[in-house]
Amino acid sequence: MKLLQKYSALVLLVGTLGFTACDNQSSGNETNTDTTNTSKADSTKADSNSTTEVAADVKPDAALTAKAYLMAGLDIEDKGGMDDLFASPEGQEHIKLLSESWNQLEQNRLSKIRPWRDQEVGHLNKEPHNLFYPFSGPDFLNAFLYFPNCDNYLMFGLEPIGELPNFKADDKKMTKQYLYRSREALAELLKRNYFITSYMSGDLNTASLKGVLPLMSIFLARTGSKIIKVERIVFDTEGNRKVVPVTVTTDKDRTLLHIEFIGKGKTKPQNIYYFGSDIQEKFVTKKKHFIDFIKSFDNKITLTKSASYLPHYEIFKTIRDIILDESTAVLQDDTGVPYSYYKKRGWDVQLYGKYARPVSDFKSGYQADLRDAFKTDKTVKKLDFTYGYHWKTDNTSLLFCQKPKK
């Protein structure tokens, strides 16, 4: 997210978003790690391995999965009837260009994050958890990168759900334009490893590319996952839920996007739930169905990054309280819940990297107590990757906060 002042205004620019309900039971202890470094060479192998290990009652959707892989610039054995599109000059150009950009992201950031993750927060990935990722937008990539084994990923942002493309082999112009728009929408994340809200309002609302669903599909493919189903879940005024096709237009304030997928090498499905709406305090009563949905999940951990310091403000008190009251652990930068809240509640906070003032886009968010902690705490650990807004420098500050056990 970018500027607090734009948060309310940007909600007027986005379209309809979906939001779904899920089973809040834990799916068990998985110890597999993610495969974000999925290359053209190994994507076919990933396909064959995962299909042999998927439970008998779980069947990935070949067409949805193939479409995601094409958009992600990856080859796959079962092309869901789109062999001609994969082999077309437009498809091959996209595979080449996006793979080049992705390989840079892999080399510069992703390959450095995985060893850190396994060493510093790896114990969480050996336990059943549900991940809460507020102010995420479409950034499933980082959710899965840090916490690949969660049963459910609970996300929200201002961006609409959108739709997947209807590729046609004889419409080369549309294919070329759509794949180009996909690369453009990914450009800032590939460079900075975070999205900018003001850019996304344009990138995800074009004549061809619409909403978060295309980018989430790309990230699923790039993590070696396969899509089982995509749908919308609509809440009525009583909080009851109804499942409708993702192509159906619904009220964004009462709709969840639900993506069920199977991770590479895993036997149990996982779920993404995304709500595309403004969750400021003045809207919380109207959107109680979403708050109740989030609270219905136990074993929550939270990820926050590049959040425009929104959890610092009282206009997001409910979201801040959910993080503090219902999470057992939080991984965040300084844009998340202020450091003082954790210390007052007796949380154990491990600091990483360096503390620096907020970048010039933000006129508030500076934390003198966090600055002092970085200066005096002898347990601060180094980082060799960037995490948030200080992506051009080594001034990344990262906090791993764990609630004391009762």
Instruction: Compute CA distances 55 → 28, 52, 269, 355, 385, whole Å.
Output: 14, 8, 9, 46, 37
Contact of 86 with 75, CB cutoff 8 Å: yes
What is the per-residue DSSP string for 2-55? Answer: --HHHHHHHTTT-----B-----S--------------HHHHHHHHHHHHHHS-
Note whether residue 392 is domain-resident: no
Note whether residue 196 is domain-resident: yes
Pairing, β 327-332 against β 270-276 = unpaired
Note whether residue 117 is domain-resident: yes
Note whether residue 308 is domain-resident: no
Note whether residue 42 is domain-resident: yes
Q: Given a cut of 50, is residue 44 above it in pLDDT?
A: no
Note whether residue 318 is domain-resident: no
Per-residue model confidence as pLDDT tens digits over 338-353: 999 999 999 999 999 9
Per-residue model confidence as pLDDT tens digits over 216-256: 999 999 999 999 999 999 999 888 999 999 999 999 999 99
Which tokens in the block code for residue 379? 């347990």
Amino acid 192: pLDDT: 66
Q: Which domain holds residue 176?
A: 4-300
Q: How far apart are CA 30 and CA 261, in angstroms?
A: 15
User: Any residues with CB less than 8 A from the CB of 370 and at least 6 apart, and which?
Assistant: 334, 338, 339, 355, 397
In 3-state terms the chain splits into helix, strand, coil percentages (rounded to 5) of 40, 15, 45
| Averaged pLDDT of the chain | 84
Note whether residue 68 is domain-resident: yes
Q: Given a cut of 80, is residue 174 above it in pLDDT?
A: yes
Type and span of the H or E element at 341: helix 339-344
**CA-closest candidate to residue 247, choices 363, 370, 188, 165:** 165
Please count the CA atoms within 13 angstroms of the CA of 205 that sit on its side-chain side: 17
Query: How many CB atoms are closer than 10 A to CB 146?
Result: 24
Total number of domains constituting the chain? 1
Note whether residue 352 is domain-resident: no
Q: Any alpha helices (H) in 54-163, and if so which ranges?
A: 62-71, 83-87, 89-105, 111-120, 140-146
Q: How far apart are CA 342 and CA 331, in angstroms?
A: 12
